[in-house]
């Protein structure tokens, strides 16, 4: 397969760094980005990747300038990998509005702004991949992880809507949400815990700290293996050969187990409350807007 050009955010460590190293080893061209790139991405220069300073929390206009700068390096971009992020722990009552906003700026507005910047280029060419490195926390809420889960849930909803918009009018552009369980990366060692602001929640906070240390010291999954498989999915090789690619793909048995558990709970709720749910229906056949192609 022809080698691709990738733009990747959050490359200082973790999944981002792994993408850069694996892709350049395969002969693909990469624009590796991050904040304070000259310093924080210096260890990636040996890979041959282009290094670009990019803070995903910049305003839309600045993001668009940065995307064009990245595009102009190789004259194209085939795959945008929205990977930048961090984990902020703390109970809902203790998380401040400012802390919640920082999570949304990085993991919701950042990817959405970059997507807006990429779409005109991808539409003109008629193709492109939009990857969102997400988490099981985008489907299953976790105690003590309000800010992280809220932002991950939000980007799931935004990208699901985007996928239906693209399927209708730009089917050559493919979004993919990677729902990762616990894999061994440095992000688990960099979790930010809010100060103890409400004594009532201290047992929860301490449990979150213990869980974080355990996840870092004994991860459940191989991060390099996961990144390798995501690359195969984009290229249609290996595990992805001959398969249709869905909007979401989970990684990790614990992730899959937690998601299935929630689906079972939801199904039971919908079955138990079906009669109540349909009791508010008005007369059938009234459609508030034209049906989209994927609607039955």
Distance CA 254, CA 240 (A): 22
The catalytic position among 121, 148, 216, 270 is 148
Distance CA 182, CA 180 (A): 7
Distance CA 33, CA 173 (A): 22
Let me know if 148 is a catalytic residue: yes
Of residues 285, 37, 291, 259, the one with CA closest to residue 139: 259
Cβ-in-10-Å burial (0-12, 13-18, 19+) of 34 comes to buried
Which residues form the catalytic set?
148
């Amino acid at each position: 397969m022809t080698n691709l050009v990738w733009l990747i955010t959050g490359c200082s460590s973790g999944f981002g760094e792994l993408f850069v190293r694996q892709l350049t080893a395969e002969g693909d061209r990469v624009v590796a980005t991050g904040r304070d790139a000259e310093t924080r991405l210096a260890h990636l220069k040996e890979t041959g990747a282009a290094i670009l300073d990019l803070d995903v929390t910049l305003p839309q206009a600045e993001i668009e300038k940065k995307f064009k700068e990245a595009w102009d390096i190789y004259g194209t971009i085939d795959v945008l990998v929205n990977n930048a992020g961090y984990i902020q722990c703390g109970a809902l009552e203790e998380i401040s509005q400012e802390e919640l906003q920082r999570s949304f700026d990085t993991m919701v507005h950042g990817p959405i702004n970059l997507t807006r910047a990429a779409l005109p280029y991808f539409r003109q060419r008629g193709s492109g991949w939009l990857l969102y490195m997400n988490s099981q926390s985008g489907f299953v809420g976790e105690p003590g992880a309000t800010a992280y889960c809220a932002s991950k849930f939000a980007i799931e909803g935004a990208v699901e809507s985007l996928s239906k918009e693209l399927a209708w009018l730009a089917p050559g552009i493919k979004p993919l949400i990677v729902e990762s369980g616990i894999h061994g990366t440095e992000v688990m060692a960099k979790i930010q815990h809010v100060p103890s602001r409400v004594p009532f929640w201290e047992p929860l906070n301490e449990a979150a700290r213990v869980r974080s240390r355990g996840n870092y010291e004994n991860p459940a999954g191989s991060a390099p293996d996961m990144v390798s498989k995501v690359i195969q999915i984009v290229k249609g090789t290996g595990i992805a050969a001959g398969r249709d690619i869905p909007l979401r793909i989970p990684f990790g048995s614990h992730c899959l187990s937690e998601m299935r558990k929630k689906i079972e709970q939801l199904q039971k709720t919908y079955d138990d409350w079906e009669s109540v749910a349909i009791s508010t229906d008005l007369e059938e056949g009234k459609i508030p807007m034209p049906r989209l192609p994927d609607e039955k």
